[in-house]
Chains A and B, each alone.
Chain A
Amino acid sequence: MIEFYLDGRSGVSPYLQLVQQVRHALRLGLLREGDRLPTVKDVVARLALNPNTVLKAYRELEHEGLVAARPGIGTFVTRTLTDASLAAHGRLRKDLLRWLAAARLAGLDDESIEALFMSAFRTSSQEDIA
C-alpha cells in the first residue's frame, strides 16, 4: 500500500501532491491494479491533513480513471500507468547523457546546465501551449 508524504516547501497544493504520488507510483509499478489506497481517515490521521484534501485527490484520480471507490470497502487502483513510453527511456537517457557530456566539454557548470535546460524546457512547453 502507498504511504503518502507531504512536502511543505514545494508550493504544490497538498491535494495535487497526493495525486502526483499515486500517478508516480503507478508509473513506476509500485502500485498495481487491484491495490487498495489508504482510507481517507487513515491518511488524515497520519498526516494531520484536511479530509477534504484527501477526498479531492481521490475524486481527481477517480475522474482520471485510475482508481474506483467501492462504497464501504475502499478505493482501489483500476489501471496502471506503466505504458509503452517506458521502452523509450533507455535511449532518451543515453541521448541526455551524451548532451550533458557535450555541455561540460563546452565549459558549462552544473548550474549553467540546469538553467539552460529549464529555459529550453519552458520555451518548448510554451510552444506546445501556444
Chain B
Amino acid sequence: MIGRSAGPASGEPMTPVLRARGLGRRYGRRWALRDCTLDIPGGHVVGLVGPNGAGKTTLLKLAGGQLAPTEGSITVLGGHPASGAAQQARIGFVAQDTPVYAGLSVADHLRLGAGLNPGWDAALARERVERLGLDPAHRAGRLSGGQRAQLALTLGLAKRPELLILDEPVAALDPLARREFLQGLMEAVAEHEFSVVLSSHLVSDLERTCDYLIVLVDSRVRLAGQVDDLLATHHRLTGPRRDPDRLPAGQHVVSASHTDRQSTFVVRTEDPIHDPAWTVSRLTLEDLVLAYMEGPAPAQGRPVLEVRR
C-alpha cells in the first residue's frame, strides 16, 4: 500500500516538483514557450496536454535540463535542472518515441543503466524485463514498438527517480501496447511513489492515469488543476438564448455558442446551478480540454486559471 496520505486529497501543499516563473524559450525568432508560470505539486501523475507545437516538448526538455531557458526561471524538485549529476540522478526522462539503442541487446541496456545511474535498482529492472517476457540477448532494434517502449520505461523506472518525465510515451503505440505501457507505469507509481509528468496530444490517454492536468495552448498555460476538481467545477448549460453577461457572478464562461433561440455554455463554478431554465450536463475531461482550446485566449497579464478547493 502506498503511504502518500499527506498527498493531494488532503490539500496539503507539498514541495512543488516543478516551478516555472515567466519561463520562455526561443528558437531563432520563434517562441516555443512563452510566459509560462506554473506550480506543479508533488505526488501527482501530471498530464501535459495540448495540440502539436504548443510547447510541450520544450517545457519537458527545460525541466529535464536538456534545454536552457531564454527567459524566466525553472526549478525542478527545488533544484536547477542543469545543475549537475546530483540533480540528474533525481529525474528520469523518457524522450519522445521512447528511443533505445537499436544495436544493443536488452541486457546491454540494463548494464548501461547500471553504469550510468548511482541509484540503479537492478532487481527492479531484472524483474520487469522477466515479467515482460523480453529476452535479455535480444537486440533492441528488433523489438516491437510496445516492447521498445517498455524497455525505455524500465530504464526510467530502475533509475528510481523522484520525478519521471515522459514525452508522448504512447503516441506511436497501438491501443493494446498503450494500455500495457500505462498499466506498467501506474503499477510502478503505486509501488514506488514518485511524481510523474507525461505529455500527450490525446486527452483519452490521460483520463485515467493523470490526477492533475495542464493544458498548454500556443505556448501558454491555459488551464492547470486537479482532474477531480476540474470535472466537479465545470458544467455544460443548455437552455433558451441568453447573454453571457446575464449569468450569475460565480459562473465563469469558458466557451459559449448560440443559435437564434438556444445558448450552450461551458462554465466553471464552485456553486451549484439552481436556475431551472438550464439543462445541466457533465463534461468529460476531453470536452473540458476542448472547451479551453477553443475558447478565447485570456487577456495578457491575467493570472492563469487554477482551480483550487
Per the bound structure, the CA–CA distance linking A49 and B205 in Å amounts to 11
Question: Chain B: how many interface residues by the 8 Å CB criterion?
Answer: 37
Whether B75 is near chain A, meaning CB under 8 Å from some CB there, is: no
Whether B191 is near chain A, meaning CB under 8 Å from some CB there, is: yes
| Contact pattern, B 168-183, Cβ under 8 Å of A = 1, otherwise 0 | 0000000000010011
Question: Chain A: how many interface residues by the 8 Å CB criterion?
Answer: 34
Whether B232 is near chain A, meaning CB under 8 Å from some CB there, is: yes
Q: Which of A8, A11, A39 has the most chain B CB atoms inside 10 A of its CB?
A: A11
Residue of B182, B274, B281 near A129 (CB, 8 A) is B274
| Contact between chains at B45 and A52 (CB < 8 Å) | yes
Residue of A45, A50, A59 near B210 (CB, 8 A) is A50
Whether B7 is near chain A, meaning CB under 8 Å from some CB there, is: yes
| Contact between chains at A15 and B274 (CB < 8 Å) | no
Looking at the assembled complex, report how far the CB atom of B302 sits from the nearest CB atom of chain A, in whole angstroms.
27
Name the A residues within 8 Å of B276 (CB-CB). Answer: 122-123, 126
| Contact between chains at B209 and A71 (CB < 8 Å) | no
Residue of B4, B186, B272, B283 near A45 (CB, 8 A) is B186
Per the bound structure, the CA–CA distance linking A10 and B290 in Å amounts to 16
Looking at the assembled complex, report how far the CB atom of B157 sits from the nearest CB atom of chain A, in whole angstroms.
14
Whether B17 is near chain A, meaning CB under 8 Å from some CB there, is: no
Q: Quick one: which of B188-220 are within 8 Å of A by CB? A: 189-191, 204, 207-211
Per the bound structure, the CA–CA distance linking A39 and B2 in Å amounts to 10
Name the B residues within 8 Å of A69 (CB-CB). Answer: 1
Q: Quick one: which of B255-309 are within 8 Å of A by CB? A: 272, 274, 276, 281-284, 287
Name the A residues within 8 Å of B135 (CB-CB). Answer: none
| Contact between chains at A56 and B9 (CB < 8 Å) | yes
| Contact between chains at B9 and A47 (CB < 8 Å) | no
Residue of B183, B191, B282 near A11 (CB, 8 A) is B282
Whether A55 is near chain B, meaning CB under 8 Å from some CB there, is: yes
What would 12 more interface pairs be, CB under 8 Å, given A8-B284, A11-B282? A10-B284, A13-B228, A14-B207, A41-B1, A49-B186, A50-B186, A50-B211, A51-B189, A52-B4, A52-B9, A52-B44, A56-B8
Between-chain CB contacts (< 8 Å), 22 pairs: A6-B208, A8-B208, A8-B284, A10-B282, A10-B284, A11-B284, A15-B228, A39-B1, A40-B1, A40-B190, A44-B183, A45-B190, A48-B182, A50-B211, A52-B43, A52-B44, A55-B2, A55-B9, A59-B9, A69-B1, A122-B276, A123-B276
List 10 tightest A-B contacts by C-beta distance, closest first: A11-B282, A51-B190, A48-B182, A45-B187, A48-B183, A13-B231, A44-B186, A41-B190, A44-B190, A52-B211
